[in-house]
Amino acid sequence: MAGFAAQGGEYGTTDLLRLRGRIRDTGDSIVRLRFVVDSLSRVEHLLTTDPVTQERVARERFGMIRPGELLYQVVPADSDSAAARP
């Protein structure tokens, strides 16, 4: 009887502690996700407004070059042996 009273019935002390832990974990997840969203918002702003960032991404991601520049591609030595295999 004393154990039942300490637990508080259907939703007892252990349930309360478990729920508080879940609330804390959910709050931590919200903070992390807000940080990610803020970072992505900054990147989106730079990609849409900053010419230097746009050029960097165009060069790094898409291999674009300016007129008059030469593009050199370095091929790893082991890529030839992988292509020669049947």
- Asked if residue 40 is part of any domain, the answer here is yes
- Domain range for 35 is 31-65
How many independent structural domains does the chain possess?
1
- Asked if residue 58 is part of any domain, the answer here is yes
- Asked if residue 37 is part of any domain, the answer here is yes
- Confidence (pTM): 0.55
pLDDT at 20: 92
* The 3-state secondary structure of the chain, one letter per residue: CHHHHHHCCCCCHHHHHHHHHHHHHHHHHHHHHHHHHHHHHHHHHHHHHCHHHHHHHHHHHHCCCCCCCCCCCCCCCHHHHHHHCC
Q: Is the pLDDT at 59 greater than 60, yes or no?
A: yes
Which residue would you say has higher pLDDT here, 43 or 15? 43
- Asked if residue 8 is part of any domain, the answer here is no
pLDDT class for 38, splitting at 50, 70, 90? Answer: very high
Q: Are the C-beta atoms of 53 and 47 separated by less than 8 Å?
A: yes
Question: Mean pLDDT in the chain?
Answer: 85
pLDDT at 61: 92
Distance of alpha carbon 33 from alpha carbon 28, whole angstroms: 9
